[in-house]
Structure 1
Amino acid sequence: MKLQLLTAVAVTALMAMPSLASADEQGWYVRGNIGYGGMTDMDITGDLTGDVEAEANAAVSIGIGYAFGNDWRLELDGTRLWNDLGALGQWANTNADMRTTNLMMNAIYDFDDFGAWRPYIGAGVGFSKANLSAFAHAFPSGNPGAPLVNNPGCLGYNICAIDRSDTAVAWQVIAGVGYDLTERLVWDTQYRYVNTGGLDYVGEGSNVGVGATTPISSRVEGAGAHILMTGLRYKFGAQAAPAPTLYSCWNGSQVENLSACPAEPPKVVWVDCWDGSQVESGNACPVQITCWDGSIVSDAATCAAQPTITCWDGSLAYNTASCPVESYEYSLCSNAYSQEIIYYDFDKPQSAETQGKIQRVIDATRHCAVGNVNVVGHTDTSGSAAYNLGLSKRRAADVSKELVRQGISSDMVTSEGKGETQLFLETGDGVREPLNRRTEVIISLSRTGVVN
């Protein structure tokens, strides 16, 4: 069923490809359509129960309406749909079918920008009368003389049957397309979704061997339908007069006679200027001025203000290239804290880097307000923790002695060893990592700025 519906929708979409345009007309019309439709999946609850999946079947519709001449139509519409709902809950010994008759008042809007093709949409409200014919029979037990086994669709009785109608308020939405075969005859193809909501039914339940029947009741939830139809619409309105032939003038206006066009003034030749403006040929374009950032303006006062930066010495400049060259002394004394790192070969308390690295420390004590110099030795994880602690202290002591020897007051220098407790690069135990074999010389200034 779903494949058939999809095929029908695809064919309708192909037929609805836009062509040319025509205007709507005022007056009465009648319509007749036939097609194919299927009820939505529904749940039946109550004494007779089970979910159903409908099989699509034939649908017919007739309507009478009035077109107001402004693309709107009002239509009284009657539609009938037959559907086999199949077994209740997929159980054996059950079956259901439904026949619906709908009476709706529809408001429809036509789109008239597609030539002879006229797509439309609409919505309607009214009543739906739905006749439900359904039954469920019990199963033989399989044992001679044993009672019947009630059907899951009719647990309270051996036989449940409903053949009744119910009427409910319903609504629908419509989408379709018409094609003007003649001035009055339209080929009309449409899809509609109908929603009936809930329906209530009464029927009869009985047991084998018992003559009397008992009233039963069931409710249908989710009743609705998808319907695709095609047919003809005949318009009784007066035939529209043929539109006059219009001619376009030089200024875009349209007239029935070209002699009625206004006189065309002399053509003006325009010249495009650098700033996007236009001037008449022979007139000068605005003056072109290039700003500091490369932008082009006609008035220097409109150039953007050139930003400045603060140089290392507090002066202002338009870019770093214009700043004074930073002095060596300033670089030493500009930060409250600075650090030098000395690296070591494996298991060595002295380093060939010591002399070169501590020169900046010595220079800092000469030119800056140095508060203290903290020397911290470290090792990698190769070797025992106790050995590495002693090795780190020897490394820190070696650097501290050299700083004092170079003239730094011993009161200013502190020395300590951390062993393998503060790794620069985390490793496992017993790893020889060069980056962890180091001594850090940390210089702390009591204030920044060059003092000598």
Structure 2
Amino acid sequence: MNHAAMKLAASAAMVVTLGMSANAADIIEPVVIETPVHYPEAVPAKVSGWYIRGDVGYLWSDFRGADYLTYGAGVAGHPGLLEGELKGSLSVGGGVGYQISHYLRTDLTLDYNFKSDFTGTSSGTCTIVGGGGPAACSSTDTTGYHAWTLLANAYVDLGTYKGITPYVGAGLGGVYMKWDDLNNTIGPGFDQSGTITHSGTSDWRFAYALMAGASYAVNHRLSVDLGYRYKHISGGRMFEYASATGPGFDRAINVHEVRAGLRYKFGESHQPYTPPPPVYEPPVVYK
């Protein structure tokens, strides 16, 4: 009987031990391996393609002089120099362009410069009235020019800061230059006194431009542009022969211009990239 009691006690002890082990296993927390949160790959926003532009401006031209010849008895083409200043004028223009990337764009522009009035002087030798012999004299010269400018341009945008994008650019092309008639007036006291009119000329000339400025994005399609443009126009024929003087050829003209305009983009928006919300995946739990 004692032997049976001992077996029963041993069996009870084993059951208690197994139960305690099971409870201890339940106390240990399971190992949890969390699946990382996946974000969709960030793709830069697409850049707009074509755009149109319109500009207005105020310009002032630097006249660098004009060379001409005078003829007379015993004088075969005596050189002369016409000097003076050009007044400021207005300009309007437009164009079409293409945004190649976030930092590079190109466009083709056509601008019209309204008339810039010219007032200048030239000096030479005139005959005094009454046979008093030759003497130094000067004349007052008035004319003006207007022009069409056709340029192919490229710009580098230097980044955007709070909606403002500074840029630099350059352009190559031509200018159709139209000079009005030149009125050459010599004061009283000389046989040549009075006004002589030289026909103005027109021609195409090579030109290049350098630009700098900044644009502000009103929205994803419309931008306001404010900038400065330096334009160099090569020299050419200015006026024709008249009364033993001419023709005249102006030297290169430098044009300084302040411009304001609008650019409107077509196609897809050009906006900063905003990532979508993360895709949640439930964690995988291992026990």
Please indicate the TM-score interval, normalised by the length of the shorter structure.
0.5 to 0.7
Match of 1:148 among 192, 197, 200: 192
Matched, 1:139 2:187: yes
Percent identity reads: 24
Q: 1:26 aligns with which of 48, 54, 58?
A: 48
Shift of 1:148: 3.0
Task: Give the CA deviation at 1:160.
Answer: 4.3
Residue 174 (structure 1) aligns with: 211
In the TM superposition, residue 64 of structure 1 has moved relative to its aligned partner by: 0.8
Is 1:110 matched up with 2:157? Answer: yes
Note the C-alpha offset of 1:110: 0.9
Q: TM-score, normalised by structure 2?
A: 0.66
Look up the match of 1:200.
237
Aligned residue number for residue 83 of structure 1: 116
Q: Contact (CA 8 Å) 2:176, 2:202: kept in 1 or not?
A: yes
- Within 2, Cα distance between the matches of 1:24 and 1:230? 27
8 Å CA contact 1:160–1:204 kept in 2: the answer is no
Residues in 1 aligned to 2:109 and 2:245: alpha-carbon distance in whole angstroms = 35
State the 1:259 CA deviation. 7.8
Q: CA deviation at 1:244?
A: 2.1
AA at the equivalent of 2:191: P
Is 1:228–2:262 an aligned residue pair? no
Q: Could you tell me the TM-score, scaled by structure 1's length?
A: 0.43
- Tell whether the 8 Å contact from 2:46 to 2:269 is kept in structure 1 after alignment: no
Secondary structure class of the residue paired with 2:235? strand
Q: CA deviation at 1:29?
A: 0.6
Q: Point out the structure with max Rg over C-alpha.
A: 1
Q: Does the CA-based 8 Å contact 1:160-1:203 persist in structure 2? A: no
> Which has more strand, going by share of residues?
2
**Hey, what does 1:274 align to over in structure 2?**
none
Deviation at 1:49, TM superposition (A): 4.0
**Which one of 83, 87, 92 corresponds to residue 60 of structure 1?**
92
C-alpha distance 241-163 of structure 1, shift in aligned 2 (>3 A): closer
1:147 shift after superposition:
2.2
The one-letter amino acid of 2:100's match is F
| Equivalent position SS for 1:25 | coil
**Partner residue of 2:142?**
95
| Residues 256-290 of structure 1 deviation map (CA, whole Å, 9 limit, x = unaligned) | 54989xxxxxxxxxxxxxxxxxxxxxxxxxxxxxx
How many aligned positions are there?
A: 212
Contact 1:24 1:112 in 2 (8 A): no
Relative distance call for 1:46 and 1:70 in structure 2 (3 A) is same
Q: Aligned equivalents of 2:225 and 2:262: distance in 1? A: 5
Where 1:163 maps in the other structure, the secondary structure is coil
RMSD: 2.8
3-state DSSP class of the match of 1:225? strand
Correspondence for 1:343: none
Write the distance in 1 (CA, Å) between the matches of 2:58 and 2:203.
23
Task: Classify the secondary structure of the residue corresponding to 2:176.
Answer: strand
Q: Do the aligned partners of residues 242 and 177 (structure 1) sit closer, same or farther apart at CA in structure 2, a change above 3 Å counting?
A: closer
Shift of 1:80: 1.9
